[in-house]
Structure formats: C-alpha cells, structure tokens
Amino acid sequence: MRVIGLSYESGVGMAQVTMVTWAFAPEWLSLEEAAQLSGHSEALLLELIQDGALEAEPGAGGWKIEKASLREFQEALFDLYASG
C-alpha cells in the first residue's frame, strides 16, 4: 500500500496516519493520497473540491489537493465536533 510517498505493509484496514505522515506528505496531494491521509473517501473529497471547501487544481493525473487546505478542513471539522 502506498501512502503519501511512503510505503506501508498492507494489513487490515488503513495504514496509521500520524503527525509525521502529515509532515512528510507533499504540499500537493493526489486524490488518493488525500483520501488516505484524511480518512475521507475520494468521492467526498471531490464534492468538497466542487463546493470550494478545498484548494485544488486539475492536473494531468487528476486533481491535486493542497495539503494545507486539507489540514484546515480537518481542523474545522474537529472544532465543530469539539464544540457540540
């Protein structure tokens, strides 16, 4: 299994994502990398791109999502969860 430029042994479920994984992830992520990093489905990420919730650019191999934008979205979700 390939996760954000790092190889992990394929096991049960998804590879564990840590702050180190976030730190070493590239600044622009493929849709697959963003899904693995965030735990969201590629379909949801596409909806978020279409809604303007994520900074993304179309590329030759598909969408590229800005890592900082994905992180900000994750933090906003956490804040919503924590507040209510």
E strand or H helix that includes residue 7: strand 6-7
Backbone phi and psi for residue 9, each to the nearest 5 degrees, phi listed first: -70, 135
Per residue in 20-68, pLDDT tens? Answer: 988 999 999 999 999 999 999 999 999 999 999 999 999 888 999 999 9
Q: How far apart are CA 55 and CA 64, in angstroms?
A: 9
Give the total number of structural domains in the chain. 1
pLDDT at 84 exceeding the cut of 70: yes
Per-residue confidence at 15, pLDDT binned at 50, 70, 90? low
Domain that holds residue 33: 2-83
